[in-house]
Structure 1
Amino acid sequence: MSLQRAEGAAVALSRSSAAWRRSAVLATATSRAGAWRILSRGLSSTRSNSSGNGSTRRPPGSIDDGDDTPKRKKAGKLPEDASVAVLGGGLTGLTTAYYLAKWLPSTTKITLLEGSDRLGGWIRTDRVPVKVGGVEGVVNFERGPRSFSSLNKSTWRFDDLVLWDLALDLGLKVASPPDQPRYIYYPDHLVPMPPHTSFAAFAREPVVLESLWAGFGYVMRRLFNKKEGVPVEDLSIADWIYHITGSRAVADNLASAMVHGIYGGDIYTLSARSVLDRFYWVHYMPNLGPNMRHMAVSEQTFMETMAEDPQLRKLARQPRGALLNFGESGMETLPIALADALKGQANVEVKLNAKVTDLGYDSETKQIKITSGQNPTTSSEKYHKVISTLPSQHLASITNDIPSLKSSHSVSIMTVNIWYPQTNLKPPGFGYLIPLSVPPEQNPERALGVFFDSDVGVKGPNEPAGTKLFVLLGGHFYDSSKPQTGSTSTVPIPTEEEAIQQAKRILERHLGIPQSTPCYAMARLAKDCIPQYDRGHLDNMMAADDEIHAHFGGKLAVAGGSYTKIGAMGALRNGYDIARTVAKEDWLATGLEQMEFPTQFCGVPTERIPVRKFRRLK
């Protein structure tokens, strides 16, 4: 860490430190010489409301010709003596509060309200004493996210730049385990995925053979539908893949496995437009050649802003694998560091056990009134600006003024951590995912996947050798509120002890580890932990943007996985984006403005992407 960064970390969020005043000049149109705009074809601009299962009011990617809808004017910077509340002390809330404290003047009062007795949300690192089969020690168990996706090869998303920014500011050391094989379990065995197996061997697997027709169908559609535009209808992932391939096999066998690992969700209800992101949009864009990359204009602006810092550029370009973590100190290292930085600031107050039970707009003072705490009658405060990082269904439950959020929902995941003192109980690798198409007799417990934690660097100091596994169960299979058919039928949520026994049966069936093998195991139900972007998600968010402006005058904003980006890396980006908008650009923003306007793309030369390393092709 450089002297400048070290001094910045030492004085936490002191305004006198140059580390906290790194300016971020937004890129202008003139700075994009060499980049060109791509606008998707075949869409008409419309403002009709949707029921949540069809077309959007203004389709993303479309040209905004002839739309007379008045554009909202930015309100500028937040008043210096304002009071700001951040609801939720998970990773998004902590990041939001951190950057607000970093960018706002010290006269601004910032309050972070967390409903539980700890900060960090779903991220939790437990250090557990174990004694099994004569082997004892302390084992690190990650009870939630065990790593970040490094995005080291992505030129579509640059969320990792926020992690590098925080690592430099807070003096954190980020580790990257070597890339190892990934597997899919289908139909009754582990299938290694390229590049850790030959394409010839992979091509002989049933999971590929059953998808050959999809490849042929895709090529034919590309040849004969060259002018195909982005569908107006918001298709499910399964329906969109069928639309472009004419086959269900790719969705059921491959896409569902990916979605199980990220969303724990159902490909027949999740929105292709909202979930597949790059895979979806690039399908409709022209090929740019080897030295150009597709990019959303907003992402290019963010990338160029962050790339102004030479230390960050250097860190982002270092060789690393697909995953990132904090090594033996565990994933909880980051929320602890953010919380410590916040607690050292005179103008920041962190309140635990302050569950928000009511939220409303006081028209007399033009402020947001919040009721919170274990005894709701004793704690009511007003704020000039409130940023909610609560799940959308929680926010909808504490106010009647955002009805569009009432239809949103999340799925629950049962997690089982297991440690065996024996080594070599499994093949080397990151783990495996289980697609929707696996026969019920091979997956009656409705597991989503198994991760090999002993192979990805999630290991504590002096932790004894052994095999450490993390089993994911449930997701949309636990979601009885939605209609299910065939292989997507639901199962009851087990108790923690039942979940442990289910995990042992899975590991015996899939990996050959006898259920009687001595081990240490613990389970946890992460209730409503992963938001689901079902068809019509974009419509709902656009409607919520209108409702927040209408009922709260822009004094309320939202951020978090319920709205734009899920996952640990997405949480960091969500917090950064809303804090920057409120602190530097438009303090009356809702956080959903980007849903209201067309998604605009450009082509960017690789030489203009200084945070990624490229091998230039001729």
Structure 2
Amino acid sequence: MTGRRVSVAVVGGGVTGLVAAYRLRQQCGDDAAITIVEAGPRLGGKLRTVPLGDGPVDVGAEAFIARRPEVAELIGELGLADQLVHPAGRQPLVWSEGALHPLPTRTLMGIPSDPQSVAGLVDADTLTRIVAEPSVPFAWDPASDVDVATLVRSRFGDQVVRRSVDPLLGGVYSGSAESLGVRAALPTLAAALDAGAPSLTAAVTAALPTPAPGPVFGTLRDGYGSLLAALRDAGRPQTILDAPASGLRRDGDGWWLDPLGHVEGVVLALPAPDMVRLVADAVPQLAAAARDIELASSAVVALALPDDTGIPENSGILVATGEPLGAKAFTLSSRKWPHLADRAVTLVRASYGRFGDAAVVDMPDPDLIATARTDLETVTGVRPEPVAAVVQRWHGGLPQYAPGHLDRVAAIEEAAAGVDGLEVAGAYLHGVGVPACVASATAAVSRLSARVAG
């Protein structure tokens, strides 16, 4: 698309949209008219960095998978390589049955590869069941997809689901084993099952990632806000805030989009339900393909506590489902991240909300902060008075990769492929993490460049 002035709209100003605008600037050149149309009052979407205590703190996503290359390469491009930091290497815990336990090891998203993986977390009957599982007849249909809970419960029992699998899946998707399909949430497990694994134990063993050197996670020293600012500065998009996009329709050889007008191309970097509403009239087949994707809401309570509060020397605490506790997880941020350990306060994040649990997310701020303090006292035994606190709600924050999700994504991409000058990108396609969003935006711009060039 270089060599002539082009106009492209990016609908949605989250990290996917900001990466798309940046890649468009690289592809289109300095003269291109690139505009982000964002329904909310700010850019960044589900990434947000706020001041708390004596420095910046992320109240959305706080880390990325460091073994995927997309974010590390992007921050290198943007001159932020010195911002990259990694965890301190402390171990997480699980709160279950009124006690703290080490997070199970040698598991695939909490699904054990052997009884020792969950010893101490589940009862003796469950351990016996795990031992016997390879000898129990097993049938798997390579044409099928089921929710993770159905598969794991049928082979290992309910305790493994609630105490080991749910806590990990809840941290990634704000969902549960019952709301997530095996094929989309655990693709390597599905591949092992499709290849003929004779038991779930064998499939998990085959699907476990090969140990690799280096840290698993990374983040930015000054928070994701530094990445968002760098993307905005490098992409130099015009921005229209507080402006829900509407009126999408064909307009000659391009598109019409309110409130912007005529553009040659459009990148839809929206949550699935918002994308469905926008394209319902102009591209009904695309809307139909994405209509069944549901979202989970969540909330983060970030607490700045007096130093030396006595919280555990661990990176965080995941909470089993079914516990009489509102929180689904705690990130002990000052223990997890070396750059936060140097602060004058102790930072803790309490996370609330699983798929279908909207009531807790909509609690008034004082009530949610009080609940976070009570829950933190329950699992750690300490209840200090916060120096400061921030509540951040994420309504519709994370898509649920329900059974059949890969088929839905294939239908979405097939429908979009038949429409010139229109691309889709976002967390509902090929992964909910920031690296997947970066990859999705980059791929969408690459396709749009090829189709609008000329």
Task: Note whether the superposition's TM-score is higher than 0.5.
Answer: yes
- Give the conservation status (yes or no) of the 8 Å contact 1:214–1:249: no
Structure 1 residue corresponding to 2:393, chosen from 478, 502, 525: 525
CA shift in 2, pair 1:426/1:545, >3 Å: same
Cα drift, residue 260 of structure 1 = 0.9
Deviations 1:82-133 (A, max 9, x none): 42211112111111221222234556442222233432222222223x5xxx
The one-letter amino acid paired with 1:336 is: A
CA shift in 2, pair 1:430/1:359, >3 Å: farther
Equivalent residue, structure 1, for 2:122: 207
Distance in 2, matches of 1:220 and 1:452, equals 41
Distance in 1, matches of 2:63 and 2:240, equals 26
Distance in 2, matches of 1:79 and 1:284, equals 48
| 1:148 maps to 2:58 | no
Deviations 1:477-512 (A, max 9, x none): 524xxxxxxxxxx76731111100111110111111
Equivalent residue, structure 1, for 2:109: none
| 1:163 maps to 2:56 | no
Cα drift, residue 79 of structure 1 = 9.2
428-437 or 333-342, which deviates more: 428-437
| 1:238 maps to 2:149 | yes
Cα drift, residue 387 of structure 1 = 0.8
The one-letter amino acid paired with 1:85 is: A
- Give the conservation status (yes or no) of the 8 Å contact 1:263–1:530: yes
Deviations 1:135-191 (A, max 9, x none): xxx24322111111223xxxxxxxx31222222211212111221111111111111
CA shift in 2, pair 1:330/1:518, >3 Å: closer
Cα drift, residue 294 of structure 1 = 8.6
Cα drift, residue 471 of structure 1 = 0.3
CA shift in 2, pair 1:236/1:202, >3 Å: closer
Q: Gapped runs of 5+ residues in structure 2?
A: 107-113, 198-205
CA shift in 2, pair 1:587/1:536, >3 Å: farther
Cα drift, residue 562 of structure 1 = 1.9
Cα drift, residue 338 of structure 1 = 0.9
| 1:454 maps to 2:370 | no
How many matched pairs?
428
Cα drift, residue 262 of structure 1 = 0.7
Equivalent residue, structure 1, for 2:134: 219
Distance in 1, matches of 2:355 and 2:416, equals 29
Give SS of 1:563's match: helix
| 1:476 maps to 2:342 | no
Q: Gapped runs of 5+ residues in structure 1?
A: 1-76, 131-137, 152-159, 288-292, 296-316, 344-348, 373-379, 480-489, 589-618
Distance in 2, matches of 1:178 and 1:141, equals 17
Distance in 2, matches of 1:200 and 1:233, equals 27
1:87-236 alignment, distance < 5 Å:
87-106=11-30, 108-128=32-52, 130=53, 138-151=54-67, 160-172=68-80, 173=82, 174-193=84-103, 204-207=119-122, 209=124, 211-221=126-136, 230-236=141-147
- Give the conservation status (yes or no) of the 8 Å contact 2:318–2:329: yes
- Give the conservation status (yes or no) of the 8 Å contact 1:176–1:320: no
Give SS of 1:356's match: coil
Distance in 2, matches of 1:429 and 1:570, equals 28
Give SS of 1:472's match: strand
1:297-376 alignment, distance < 5 Å:
320-327=214-221, 329-343=222-236, 349-353=237-241, 355-362=243-250, 365-372=252-259
Distance in 1, matches of 2:125 and 2:62, equals 33
Deviations 1:329-385 (A, max 9, x none): 222111111111112xxxxx32131523314222x503221113xxxxxxx412222
| 1:544 maps to 2:451 | no
Equivalent residue, structure 2, for 1:314: none
CA shift in 2, pair 1:83/1:458, >3 Å: farther
User: What is the TM-score when the length of structure 2 is the normalising length?
Assistant: 0.84
Give SS of 2:235's match: helix
Equivalent residue, structure 1, for 2:200: none
Equivalent residue, structure 1, for 2:300: 415
Cα drift, residue 576 of structure 1 = 2.0
Deviations 1:525-561 (A, max 9, x none): 11111111122323333333454456xx232211111
Deviations 1:375-422 (A, max 9, x none): xxxxx4122221111111112223322133333221111110112113
- Give the conservation status (yes or no) of the 8 Å contact 1:358–1:398: yes
Equivalent residue, structure 2, for 1:51: none
Equivalent residue, structure 1, for 2:376: 507
- Give the conservation status (yes or no) of the 8 Å contact 1:139–1:459: no
Equivalent residue, structure 1, for 2:181: 271
Give SS of 1:325's match: strand
CA shift in 2, pair 1:250/1:79, >3 Å: farther
The one-letter amino acid paired with 2:101 is: V
- Give the conservation status (yes or no) of the 8 Å contact 2:115–2:127: no
CA RMSD of aligned residues (A): 3.1
- Give the conservation status (yes or no) of the 8 Å contact 2:115–2:130: no
Q: Which of the two has greater helix per residue?
A: 2
Distance in 1, matches of 2:116 and 2:226, equals 41
CA shift in 2, pair 1:478/1:194, >3 Å: closer
Cα drift, residue 200 of structure 1 = 10
The one-letter amino acid paired with 2:435 is: M
The one-letter amino acid paired with 1:220 is: S
The one-letter amino acid paired with 2:254 is: Q
| 1:250 maps to 2:166 | no
Give SS of 1:233's match: coil
1:30-109 alignment, distance < 5 Å:
81-106=5-30, 108-109=32-33
Distance in 2, matches of 1:543 and 1:145, equals 28
Give SS of 1:370's match: strand
Structure 1 residue corresponding to 2:426, chosen from 560, 563, 573: 560
Larger radius of gyration: 1
1:358-397 alignment, distance < 5 Å:
358-362=246-250, 365-372=252-259, 380-397=260-277
Distance in 1, matches of 2:351 and 2:445, equals 33
| 1:281 maps to 2:222 | no
Distance in 1, matches of 2:105 and 2:95, equals 17
Cα drift, residue 210 of structure 1 = 5.4
| Identity score, percent | 20
The one-letter amino acid paired with 1:431 is: G
